[in-house]
Amino acid sequence: MDQAGIIRDLLVWLEGHLDQPLSLDNVAAKAGYSKWHLQRMFKDVTGQAIGAYIRARRLSKAAVALRLTARPILDIALQYRFDSQQTFTRAFKKQFAQTPALYRRNPDWLSFGIRPPIRLDDFTPPQPQFVTLPEMHLLGVTQNYSCSLEQISQFRSDMRIQFWTQFLANAPSLPPVLYGLHESLPSQEKDDEQGVLYTTALTPEMANGHIPQAQPVLLEGGDYVQFTYDGPADGLQAFILLIYGTCMPMLNLNRRKGLDIERFFPASEANVHDHQRSIRCEYLIPVKS
């Protein structure tokens, strides 16, 4: 295997072990090289020092935990292998230009400081489209659930299918457009989980009295960045994580307070229960102009 292939495999392994001990000796043993040779090879292939990269990725993961959970800062610091809250705060402030406490309390989610994972394959990021939406009146049903950050991909995919099925149970046919509106908040019950409010909605014209449990929903207008997903239904959540973890930082976009919007086109899809079916989703994130 060439050097790029070795480092590509190592990057994937590192991404799954950022909360584990990753001394240079441990990483070198995993790669099967001396630490001196591994350091040179990593720098040659990626242009970055391996130790600095690991620290930047750990701090980026910690930033997500700060925003989406209520876990104590010390617990997050220890999870990502910092020996004290003071050490963590110094490193965090150097990368994000603010303390962990201020980062958590900021009403906007700033992209500055987030370091995306290195990708050595032929990666083409999803293309953004900037749109301004008017205020919209919808009819929808809001439900909530909570999960750990580690459960998020599968859990959200399962919940989305469940909510769609319940919502459309009385509809005579699949609507041409279906909205999913959601907001992530720290869980009120468990500080290591995030709570999610998810509203499945239609325009009043499409609801047409067929969704008796639906309530009026006001979708605020404003500026959004839109990314379009075409692919298997069970790949959507990975796409959303890609947007937040890579695209938003690359574009230096800041998420403002508001709801993420999922806009689906189910009338063209054969079976809402099939996780492998192909779907099209326009995913919109509220951003500061």
> How much is the pLDDT for 268?
55
> How much is the pLDDT for 234?
84
Whether residue 183 sits in one domain with residue 83:
no
Cβ density class 109-128: b for 16+ within 10 Å, e for less? bbbebbbbbbeeeeeeeeeb
Whether residue 281 sits in one domain with residue 142:
yes
Residue 232's DSSP bridge partners are: 278
Point out the residues of the chain with pLDDT beneath 70: 1, 153, 267-276
Whether residue 148 sits in one domain with residue 216:
yes
| Cα R_g (the chain), whole angstroms | 21
Whether residue 42 sits in one domain with residue 10:
yes
> How much is the pLDDT for 254?
97
> How much is the pLDDT for 153?
65
pTM for the full predicted model: 0.90
CATH at residue 97: 1.10.10.60
> How much is the pLDDT for 206?
86
> How much is the pLDDT for 267?
60
Q: How far apart are CA 102 and CA 104, in angstroms?
A: 5
51 in a domain, yes or no?
Answer: yes
Residue 27: which domain range?
Answer: 3-105
Residue after which a domain boundary falls, among 71, 105, 139: 105
Whether residue 136 sits in one domain with residue 75:
no
> How much is the pLDDT for 1?
59
Whether residue 273 sits in one domain with residue 146:
yes
Count of structural domains, the chain: 2
191 in a domain, yes or no?
Answer: yes
> How much is the pLDDT for 275?
45
Whether residue 96 sits in one domain with residue 140:
no
Coarse DSSP helix, strand, coil percentages of the chain, rounded to the nearest 5 percent: 40, 25, 35
Whether residue 212 sits in one domain with residue 175:
yes
Contact (CB, 8 A) for 242 and 287: no
Whether residue 135 sits in one domain with residue 91:
no
115 in a domain, yes or no?
Answer: no
267 in a domain, yes or no?
Answer: yes
121 in a domain, yes or no?
Answer: no
> How much is the pLDDT for 233?
85
Whether residue 85 sits in one domain with residue 135:
no
